[in-house]
Amino acid sequence: MKTQSFSKRTMTCGDARAEHIGSTVVLNGWVHRRRDLGGLIFIDLRDRYGMTQVVFNPQEKPELFAQAEKLRSEFVISVTGLVRERPEGAHNANIATGDVEVAVNELEILNTCKTPPIQVADNSSVDESLRLKFRFLDLRRSRMQENLILRHKMAKATRDFLDKEGFLEIETPMLVSATPEGARDFLVPSRLSPGKFYALPQSPQIFKQILMVSGFDKYFQIARCFRDEDLRADRQPEFTQIDMEMSFVSRDDVLGVSERLMQYVFKTVMNIDIPVPFHRMSWEESMNRFGNDKPDTRFGMEIIDVTEHVKNTEFQAFNDAIGSGGAVRGIVLPGCAGYSRKQLDELTEFAKKAGAKGILSAALKEDGEFKSVLSKYLSPEQIAELKTAFGAKDGDLLAIMAGEAMFISAILGKLRLEMGKRLNLIDKGKFNFLYVVDFPMYKYNEEEKRLETEHHPFTSPKPEDMHLLETEPLKVKADAYDMVLNGNEVASGSIRIHSRDLQKRVFNAIGISDEEAEEKFGFLLNTFEYGAPPHGGIAPGLDRIAAIAAGEETIRDVIAFPKNTGGDCLMTGAPIAVESDQLKILKLKVEG
């Protein structure tokens, strides 16, 4: 068989420098741009390492020039030529090869390219479905190339760091029985056991715990996880976690190694200094000050509780809220005292959309006027006290709500984020990490009218709260923690249960009976009776961290082949219907 032969590159398109002047080189790559100038043809030849200018001169090589005229964007070519210095004034400081060019002696067209539906040569915005359909072209664009290189470096730095720390990378199975992480499972029918199904792992949680029982006291895996969820919030049905587990550790050991991992990765990959230790904030404090459990601490505008300062006013809404155990809270919108009626209505609209009845505003006019309905009900002293409590100055606008403390805080928290963006208060260059700790063990699922675990059911309750498990489960705090970066939850973890009895009690509280626990998780419960060490872990999300590091809005931009928000792969067409023969073999029938 005749193999296709072509002149193979002697250097990449990012290599040529002044020191190569005078040598003959071969470059292989894609035609990035063609410029016809002053009777010459210039090609920017591109590969993932960079770009080199190659020149065709009709005087020197007329036949070559004629061939070069046929070159179009994204043709794949091989050129052989002489490296020479660019003429004076034509040096390009923006690219590494900018001092030189290659005068072409030989050209081979290795492949042509239809007119690309996406311009590779510029990063201008293109409809995302087109990008996902033609992902192979989209991935040629410099932004996506940089993102995937960054992701690779982060994964490599992770492996290097954890290896140095004595962690072992161990793979766990993809075909498993269910792991409860709170999402739906993707199921895979078994041919050998018709009517039975594997689940794809929502995380390696159970396996990594069992590895602890087996004595692999420091485990990690850059693990693919699968969760069949509605994808509205920037999620993917399959995503990647830096999954970690350790034995004989306390919470602070896990937090310590994870923050040093982040510090190492950001330093090695981006030369960014991340200070450690990360601030640790209790869940309760986070909910009170920021209205959510993933505070964005890149800007202030925190929620302030003024209940104590408005206890004795004549304002009915305050008195009703306080009387029924609620609170009065608000945020200061700096420099917004001049908001028009329309702008104030927009704030109310925002609060209403978030579920509130409304929001009260008070403008602290530059001339000292307190412009608000409140001025009718509060004495001048009470107004002065309120201003001081908020730490507000003239020119600011107060946005105040009264009601159940957590409910109003959640809405104020949303407003804070929205206004932080609108008022341009968020420094995009910052990477603010912190830990939120002491999560509640359980939360109440209103729809299903039952308790569920806030993290997953393998999380240990705090020892001092264990006695409340049966009586007041909603008061139980868990030894669970999240790592937060710029207002995003980027890792979750916990100290685990390693006693059969406690595991059953935790299951019972969420309605999993002893029998069901035995049936579903008997294998794990058994391991607890064979020398399970105390253990805990965490799982930073590689996609999210890489997206934030790359300055991208969505994790799709740091995943080579993501699904769209409908869960479809627009390039391959997955998911697809399958042949009826295939279903028959699996003894499956599709309804409808």
Q: Which residues bind ligand ASP (CB under 6 A)?
A: 181, 203, 205, 492-494, 537-539
Q: Minimum CB separation from ligand ASP for residue 539, in Å?
A: 4
Q: Which residue, 47 or 543, has its beta carbon nearer to ligand ASP?
A: 543
Q: Minimum CB separation from ligand ASP for residue 453, in Å?
A: 11
Cα separation, 456 vs 472, in Å, equals 19
In DSSP terms, 420 is beta-bridged to none
Q: Minimum CB separation from ligand ASP for residue 207, in Å?
A: 10
Q: Minimum CB separation from ligand ASP for residue 436, in Å?
A: 14
**Measured CA distances, 155 to 240, 269, 548 (Å):** 10, 10, 15
Vertex 361: Cα angle to 355 and 367 (nearest 5): 165
Closest to 291 measured CA to CA, from 487, 485, 443: 487
Q: Which residue, 78 or 453, has its beta carbon nearer to ligand ASP?
A: 453
Q: Mention every residue, 6+ apart, whose C-beta is less than 8 A from residue 569.
A: 132, 561, 563
Cα separation, 346 vs 352, in Å, equals 10
Q: Mention every residue, 6+ apart, whose C-beta is less than 8 A from residue 160.
A: 264, 268
Closest to 176 measured CA to CA, from 207, 153, 152: 207
HSE of 72, CA atoms in CB hemisphere, 13 A? 8
Q: Which residue, 117 or 533, has its beta carbon nearer to ligand ASP?
A: 533
Q: Which residue, 420 or 537, has its beta carbon nearer to ligand ASP?
A: 537
Q: Which residue, 158 or 313, has its beta carbon nearer to ligand ASP?
A: 158
Q: Which residue, 65 or 239, has its beta carbon nearer to ligand ASP?
A: 239
Closest to 223 measured CA to CA, from 559, 542, 481, 569: 542
Q: Which residue, 46 or 227, has its beta carbon nearer to ligand ASP?
A: 227
Q: Minimum CB separation from ligand ASP for residue 254, in Å?
A: 9
Cα separation, 498 vs 485, in Å, equals 30
Q: Which residue, 17 or 184, has its beta carbon nearer to ligand ASP?
A: 184
Q: Is 162 helix (H, G, I), strand (E, B) or coil?
A: helix
Q: Mention every residue, 6+ apart, whose C-beta is less than 8 A from residue 474.
A: 440, 442, 443, 444, 451
Cα separation, 111 vs 77, in Å, equals 7
Vertex 422: Cα angle to 416 and 426 (nearest 5): 70
Q: Which residue, 107 or 200, has its beta carbon nearer to ligand ASP?
A: 200
Q: Minimum CB separation from ligand ASP for residue 245, in Å?
A: 7
Other Cβ atoms less than 10 A from the Cβ of 249: the count is: 21
Q: Minimum CB separation from ligand ASP for residue 205, in Å?
A: 4
> Helices 205-213 & 514-527, crossing angle to 10 degrees?
50
Contact 428, 551 (CB under 8 A): yes
Cα separation, 13 vs 115, in Å, equals 23
Q: Minimum CB separation from ligand ASP for residue 477, in Å?
A: 16
Q: Which residue, 326 or 440, has its beta carbon nearer to ligand ASP?
A: 440
Q: Which residue, 98 or 540, has its beta carbon nearer to ligand ASP?
A: 540
Other Cβ atoms less than 10 A from the Cβ of 428: the count is: 8
Q: Minimum CB separation from ligand ASP for residue 203, in Å?
A: 4
Q: Minimum CB separation from ligand ASP for residue 219, in Å?
A: 11
* Helix (H) or strand (E) segment spanning residue 145: helix 142-164
Q: Minimum CB separation from ligand ASP for residue 410, in Å?
A: 22
Q: Minimum CB separation from ligand ASP for residue 446, in Å?
A: 22
Q: Which residue, 494 or 527, has its beta carbon nearer to ligand ASP?
A: 494
